[in-house]
Amino acid sequence: MTISILGCGWLGFPLAQNLLSLGFSVKGSTTSEKKVKTLKQAGIETYLIKLPEQLESEENRDFWNSDILFLNIPPSRGDSDVEKNYPTLIQKVVDKATSAGIDWIIFASSTSVYSSTGGVTDESDAKPGSASRPSGEAVLRAEQVLQSSTLDVSIIRFGGLYGYGRHPVKYLAGRKDLSDASKPVNLIHQTDCLNIIQKIIELNKRNDVFNAVSDGHPPRKEFYISAAHHFNLPEPQFSKDGRKDYRVISNEKVKRELEYTFSYPNPMDHTP
């Protein structure tokens, strides 16, 4: 089986390496000319694809000759019209994949599609117009574009990503007067991201939606102060928090239907 990974970054590159070790034929894309050599050295059939301008490039035609497309392109930061532009871009990718004969897309989505409040939140709770921020609304609209296509589509709504050089505390270290001290975090380690993707492929879980979030949901203040100590960074400072109505993303479906056990269930257990 051949899989094309559109976006071989922090998540896509190790996914490609893991799938190669399992016997898949793997094609990967990057927008960085410097990274082409690195991907090729790892055994990945590599293509330089910048969207949308290189979507129809003849040089990249073979990238689309695959059984599965792992679509790992997040919305652009700072896009003032992200709710329109991102779904439009995803539609172009869907059209290309359809015309090329790909029949299954696995989409790296985000828990930002959910409201920032509402308590325990499962896969059925994503409602148009209620996303926590504009990029979340854009991602939800992109999901709808995918689900309205003729292709098989699997959607994985990842929580905040961490592990192996990436940790959200690095963006908050030393900052003052931060809000939402008691807000539960909804995070997932890279290892669990990769394992869940592989499970969905192995079990052929098409046309379904899964939340990918760790079991543990410590409060922001407790989590970030602990992480700052672990990484020897300045403590972030939180203001008083009177809010109570937050969301906790449920991972019960991914554990039940994939029979999945998390490698890193508690973000408080700080890892590489």
| Three-state SS letters, 30-50 | ECCHHHHHHHHHCCCEEEECC
d(CA 21, CA 163): 21
Residue 48 and residue 57: Cα distance in Å, rounded? 10
Please tell me the total count of domains within the chain.
1
Residue 116 lies in a domain: yes
Give the residue among 74, 153, 144 at the shortest CA–CA distance from 106. Answer: 153
- Measured between its terminal Cα atoms, the distance across the chain in Å is 32
**pLDDT > 90? residue 47:** yes
* pLDDT at 77 > cutoff 90: no
Residue 192 in any domain: the answer is yes
Identify the sign of the CA torsion 218, 222, 226, 232. positive
Residue 143 domain flag:
yes
The per-residue pLDDT for 133 is 93
Whether 149 is covered by a domain: the verdict is yes
Q: Count Cβ neighbours within 10 Å for each residue of 46-55 and write b for 16 or more, e otherwise.
A: bbbbebeeee
User: Residue 4: pLDDT band by 50, 70, 90 thresholds?
Assistant: very high
**What is the residue-averaged pLDDT of the chain?**
95
Per the listing, tokens 């009177």 go with: 242
Q: Which CATH number is 151's domain given?
A: 3.40.50.720
pLDDT tens across 14-24, in order? 999 999 999 99
Per-residue pLDDT tens over the stretch 109-141: 999 999 999 999 999 999 999 998 999 999 999
Q: Is residue 75 part of a domain?
A: yes
Does 153 score more than 80 pLDDT?
Answer: yes
Q: Is position 212 within any domain?
A: yes
- Residue 131: give the domain boundaries: 67-164+187-217
Residue 138 lies in a domain: yes
| Predicted pLDDT at 272 | 72
pLDDT greater than 90 at residue 243: no
Residue 101 has pLDDT above 90, yes or no: yes
